[in-house]
A = this chain, B = another copy of it.
Amino acid sequence: MVQQEVLDRVFASLADPQRRRILVRLGEGPATIGELAEPVGMTLTGMKKHVQVLEAAGLIVTEKVGRSRQCRLGPAPLDDAMAWIGFYQRLWARKLDGLDAYFTLRNGTEGTSS
């Protein structure tokens, strides 16, 4: 159940281009909220909201440094999300294998000459 909630938060976090950009930017190294906001022309308040969503999902961690808040990638990356998508893709591939087998069967011997 907790695991499901983690996936909910992670996928919801990723459902926004600005938040995906923040993750890519932090992949280059830590940044303050101001440094994240400035290049994309966003207000500090707007950026703070995105940062809070990402932090609640465990994708980033933040720390007060002097008067600003430093952000960096969190300790738990997207392994769970990746594992889930991988599982789904295997299901999907299996479905294709099934279709392939079906058409091979239906087409008899005419199937696989190139």
A contact residues vs B (CB 8 Å cutoff): 4, 7-9, 11-12, 14-17, 20, 23-24, 27-29, 73, 77-79, 81-82, 84-89, 91-92, 94-95
Given A8-B17, A15-B11, A82-B82, verify A24-B91 contact (CB < 8 Å).
yes
Q: Is the CB of A85 within 8 A of B85?
A: yes
**A92/B27 in contact, CB under 8 A:** yes
User: Which among A20, A82, A88, A89 has the greatest number of chain B C-beta atoms within 10 A?
Assistant: A88
B8 touches A15 (CB 8 A): yes
Nearest first, the 4 closest Cβ-Cβ pairs linking A and B are A27-B91, A11-B15, A12-B15, A11-B14
Known contacts A4-B17, A15-B12, A17-B7; is A88 also within 8 Å of B95 by CB?
Answer: no
Q: Which of B8, B23, B89 touches A88 (beta carbons < 8 Å)?
A: B23
A65 to chain B, nearest CB (A): 18
A73–B92 Cα distance when bound, in Å, is 7
